[in-house]
Homo-oligomer: A and B are copies of this chain.
Amino acid sequence: MLTYHFGYGEDRATIRRGKRLRPQIAMRTALAEGAPLERVLDAAAAVEMLHNYSLVHDDIEDRDELRHGRRTLWNIYGVAQAINAGDAMCAISFLTLMRASERLEGARVLEMVRVLHEAHRVMCEGQALDLQFERATQVDLAAYHHMIACKTGKLFEAAFVLGALAASTSPDDVARYAELGRAYGRAFQIRDDVLGIWASTDATGKVTGNDLARRKWTFPVVWALAQQPSAARSTVADAYAAGEALDAPTVTRVVDALISLGAQQAAERAIAEPMAVVRRHPDAALRTYLLGTLG
């Protein structure tokens, strides 16, 4: 089941795998801090496995039948085996991380294990909030930012911090990487939210308006509902007030309303500050990579 989830044994030319952002970040951070790659490989694999364990469980919780065009684990093996396979992937993630003790001193590995478990705990908090949002009639910007900081930001933060810890970076520099991770996570998620409404299927694998059809509380929607009363705001509010999936004509109306309200520009403004944190990072190679992933 785990091999299937990762798409191993399938045609590399046609399969759409994930972008491996988190292990890339862990590895590039360690390299930026002057560490040989071997010191960070266990942590990089661990953070990717923890992320994928969360995807296996999220797919069950969200009832998603496809991921990157392939059937999800629960869709093939059933909910019971898929929950348990995710649990196993969580255990294997940490067992992999602990193999770093062959290369790093014990105290450092223990700190890395603590960092990844804390990320695990906070991700669960974010997912609990995201699940609550499904039934909410209103989500404000503060709640939205807290949710994405927990659900998305915390594991990105952990990826940077694990890379820095693997490189024996000083505590002050680890704290700076944690800040970079939080900023990157915020920019990444808001961009992802914009793509979830306006991306074309070809470029990203996302379907235009898909997050609206699923009535997800993404940045453009939450921001739009925080604006002064207007016809466009009412269009969005009414569509979300029904508490059900949006049909195709409603999605089109909401997309137009979001455009007329200026939600895309609002998203750009919202990521200006975190993007500035990324642009200020001193290592050119890491900075270039990060900006590339943010489009």
Contact = CB atoms under 8 A, between A and B. Distances in A.
B121 A95 contact: yes
A99 to B, nearest CB: 10
A179 interface: no
A123 to B, nearest CB: 8
A83 interface: yes
A175 interface: no
Nearest to A96: B117
A283 interface: no
Residue among A114, A124, A127, A131 facing the most chain B CB atoms (10 A cut-off): A124
A139 B92 CA distance: 28
Given A91-B117, A91-B121, A110-B98, A131 B81 contact: yes
A46 to B, nearest CB: 11
A84 interface: yes
Contacts of A79: 60-61, 79
A217 to B, nearest CB: 16
A119 B87 CA distance: 12
A81 B118 contact: no
Chain A interface size range: 20 to 34
Interface in A129-162: 131
Interface stretch (A16-24, A101-109, A267-275): A101-109
Contact of A113 (B80, B84, B110): B110
A182 interface: no
B128 A81 contact: yes
A186 interface: no
A180 interface: no
A87 B268 CA distance: 34
Contact of A88 (B88, B91, B128): B128
Contacts of A95: 114, 117-118, 121
A240 interface: no
Contacts of A38: none
Nearest to A120: B91
A85 interface: yes
A233 interface: no
Contact of A85 (B62, B85, B128): B128
A94 interface: yes
Interface of A: 57, 60-62, 79-81, 83-85, 87-88, 90-92, 94-95, 98, 101, 106-107, 109-110, 113-114, 117-118, 120-121, 124-125, 127-128, 131
5 closest A-B pairs by CB: A88-B124, A61-B80, A91-B121, A91-B120, A106-B107
9 contacts: A57-B87, A61-B81, A81-B131, A88-B124, A88-B128, A95-B121, A98-B110, A101-B110, A110-B110
